[in-house]
Structure formats: structure tokens, C-alpha cells
Amino acid sequence: MSFLFFQGELDSAESEVRYILAHDVYSTDAEFVLGRILELKGSLKEARYYFHRVLKKDYRHSGARDALQRLDKKEHKNLI
């Protein structure tokens, strides 16, 4: 999963992560990685959805919290 992500092959990485989630709906790691992939692809609304799912399972997940703050800043910039 992470190899494709770090190689910048976002479409392939997204497909792989979605496959993982189809077989393990409780994978917080996969949801977080999918959120990051979607954020990088510009699908901010869907990315936000997955980051919120991560926080529902682990409210202390600092990566998801940081990602939501980053998305808030990006969306705020778009409003200005």
C-alpha cells in the first residue's frame, strides 16, 4: 500500500487501499492513507470524510487531526 503511495502512483494506490477497506472495514490505517491520497488528488470533501472516520475510531489520531486542520486552511484560502 505505502509503496505505491510514495511512488506517486495515486490511482493505483487508491485502488489498492479501497480493496483493503472492502475486506477490512475496520482498518484505520487504510482509511487514513485513503484520505491522504484523496487529499493529494484534490478530492477534499471525500478526504475529509475518511479523516473523520479515522477520528471516530481513534479520536487521538494526530495524523487525521492534522489533516483536517490542513484541509480547513486550504478551504479557507479558497474562500478568500
CA 36/CA 61 separation, integer angstroms:
14
CA 17/CA 11 separation, integer angstroms:
10
Largest CA distance in the chain: 41
**Which is higher by pLDDT, 52 or 1?**
52
What pTM does this model have?
A: 0.86
pLDDT at 37 over 60: yes
For 2-79, CATH number?
Answer: 1.25.40.10
pLDDT at 2 over 60: no
